[in-house]
Amino acid sequence: MKLFLTFTISLFLVSVSIAENHLLAPEKIIQNTTGKVLDRVKRDKEVLRENPGEMFRLVSDLIFPHFDFSVMSRFVMGSEWKSLPEDKRKAFVDQFRKLLVRTYAAALLEFSDQEIEYVRSEIKAGASTAKVFQEIKSKSGTPMIISYRLHNRNTDWMVFDVTVSGVSLVKTYRASFQSIIASQGVDALIVSLKEKNKKYGNL
């Protein structure tokens, strides 16, 4: 659970306005956005904690426009993606997104006081992909190295995976979902995600 929440706190730091996104290098996007998001959560933490719906909107509006859910969904679903009809693809992406929204919302509230440093970036001139490395310092534990993987589609740098201490978010979800698909099928996975999202108020 702790590692999963660590994934979520790392992912929320990459939001930036669309107007800025195409003008800045990947590392600048992450650095500039960190302060903006943390300031909002710290300032309104108690209000947001008491109003899950507002937290869900914060995550949806400020963060997720800059994640490539199409690519993430294809990676997570693996070979199953090609055989899925369009309606089931849309249903999965919708529920997958809602799953991440509510998980990120909880992580923002729990980890917003962490100290963050930027250690390095791997970006080659003219390349369409990049990695940005970040260190989150825990008050009572070993610092964690987080790497963001982004790609550039014409103008916008988009996040498509995050790795925490060598463990990939996409691969983690893929293993979990593939286990359900193998035993119960894709429909059961979508229903399970939908029920959990509804249970936590993220309809």
Amino acid identity, residue 192?
S
CATH classification of 2-199 is 3.40.47.40, yes or no? no
Predicted TM-score of the model (pTM): 0.76
151-176 pLDDT, tens per residue? Answer: 987 777 888 988 888 888 889 999 99
Strand, coil or helix: 201: coil
**What angle (nearest 5°) sits at the alpha carbon of residue 112, between those of residues 67 and 196?**
55
Residues in the chain: 203
In angstroms, the Cα distances linking 194 to 24, 96, 121, 175, 203 are 36, 9, 37, 19, 8
What gap in Å lies between CA 141 and CA 20, rounded to an integer?
35
**Whole-number pLDDT of residue 75:** 94
Domain coordinates in residue numbering, the chain: 2-199
pLDDT tier for residue 24 given thresholds of 50, 70 and 90? low
67-115 pLDDT, tens per residue? Answer: 888 899 999 999 999 999 999 999 999 999 888 887 777 777 776 677 7
Could you write out the DSSP letters of every residue in 130-174?
EEEEEEEE-SSS--EEEEEEEEEETTEEEEEEEEETTEEHHHHHH
